[in-house]
Amino acid sequence: MSKENSANLSNIGAVDRKIVRRYRQYLRLERSYTQNTLDAYERDLQKLLNYYSDMGIDFRHVTLEQLDQFAGTLFDLGIQPRSIARILSGVRSFYRFLLIEKEVDSDPTELLESPRIGKHLPDVLSLEEIDAIIAAADASKPEGIRDRAIIEMLYSCGLRVSEMCNLHMSELYMEEGYIRVRGKGRKERLVPIGEEAIRRLREWFVVRQGIQAKPGEEDYVFISPARGRHLSRISVFVKIKAYAAAAGITKDISPHTFRHSFATHLLEGGANLRAIQAMLGHESIATTEIYMHIGQQHLREAILQHHPRNMEKP
């Protein structure tokens, strides 16, 4: 538990703090959550525990009605419905843990409802728009060659920006046509990589050979020519915004836009939905059982047959 989070839990008892530490250990070991996710869950849990502590209520004995009051308080404080839904999701997870640990006799969150959230469909880029954004990166500069490869990887492989930033040279199997991706919760998956993405990577590797990487940064695929360190998510976000503006595209663009476009284009091309979800690494299906049913060869065939980059050259 971080010092900040520990301080924020100072108004609850020592026994209760031990339960929170056990819950955090459960999330880390049993659910394989990352440090950022653990901190987010704990911050949200603080709101619940401090709320009932101030009211003199033992959180182990709360009722559904009292949980509804807690949710209503969040709304009155001006917290957005999407954030409230996230907090309540963490509350449900906490009470499921308490039930497993026999700290409670029943789960009071079983009928707890989250606020309705209007569905916002992300923008989808056409292949022409993606090519225009790639072309906006100046290929006469090392950063431009690198950024062209980054954008192509985000689109052609459907990567999350964090996955792309943390991609290692040792995780590339270009001769076999795959890359190994470490996704959320440290889960790993194999993702097919197409010829265009491989071409962009090889162009970048020619430049990268002349860049001195800092100690510990040598295995990262995408590094800064000036600093020799791997890129941050924020820096990629800023660059993509700038390239989209330079390309004259007015859609709301972020690194995730390319991932969404990847999935949409595959689906429109006729790829199997389960294969798309597996390639995206969605937790609901990115399991050993699902991979056994789909098979890596089937995923690669989906890329070769249905991705626009490959459909251009039948």
Q: Give CA–CA dist 217/197, Å, rounded.
A: 22
E strand or H helix that includes residue 261: helix 255-268
pTM here?
0.59
Residue 174 falls within a domain, yes or no? yes
Residue 306 falls within a domain, yes or no? yes
Q: Give CA–CA dist 7/146, Å, rounded.
A: 43
DSSP-assigned letters across all residues of 130-190: HHHHHHHS-TTSHHHHHHHHHHHHHHHS---HHHHHT-BGGGEETTTTEEEEE-GGG-EEE
The CATH number that applies at residue 259 is: 1.10.443.10
137 and 286 fall within a common domain? yes
195 and 80 fall within a common domain? no
31 and 159 fall within a common domain? no
37 and 185 fall within a common domain? no
Q: What is the pLDDT of residues 25-72, one digit of tens each?
A: 988 888 888 888 888 888 888 888 888 888 888 999 999 888 988 888
Q: What's the number of domains the chain is made of?
A: 2
Angle between helices 255-268 and 233-246 (to 10 degrees): 70
Residue 115 falls within a domain, yes or no? no
210 and 279 fall within a common domain? yes
Among 100, 118, 149, the domain-final residue is: 100
E strand or H helix that includes residue 41: helix 35-54
Residue 111 falls within a domain, yes or no? no
Residue 304: predicted pLDDT: 63
301 and 233 fall within a common domain? yes
Q: What is the pLDDT of residues 249-267, one digit of tens each?
A: 998 888 989 988 888 787 7
131 and 251 fall within a common domain? yes
Six token digits for residue 270: 């006729």
238 and 135 fall within a common domain? yes
Six token digits for residue 229: 């360190």
With H, G, I as helix, E, B as strand and everything else as coil, classify residue 118.
coil
Beta strands in the chain (DSSP E): 172-173, 178-182, 188-192
Among 100, 115, 150, the domain-final residue is: 100
Residue 152 falls within a domain, yes or no? yes
182 and 296 fall within a common domain? yes
- pLDDT above 90 as % of the chain: 39
Q: Residue 53 is part of which domain span?
A: 3-100
Residue 119: predicted pLDDT: 53
In 3D, which of 22, 217, 165 has the Cα closest to residue 102? Answer: 22
Residue 120 falls within a domain, yes or no? no
Instruction: Please list the active-site residues.
Output: 160, 184, 256, 259, 282, 291
Q: pLDDT confidence of 306, banded at 50, 70, 90?
A: low
93 and 147 fall within a common domain? no
Q: What is the pLDDT of residues 97-136, one digit of tens each?
A: 999 999 999 999 988 887 766 555 567 899 999 999 999 9
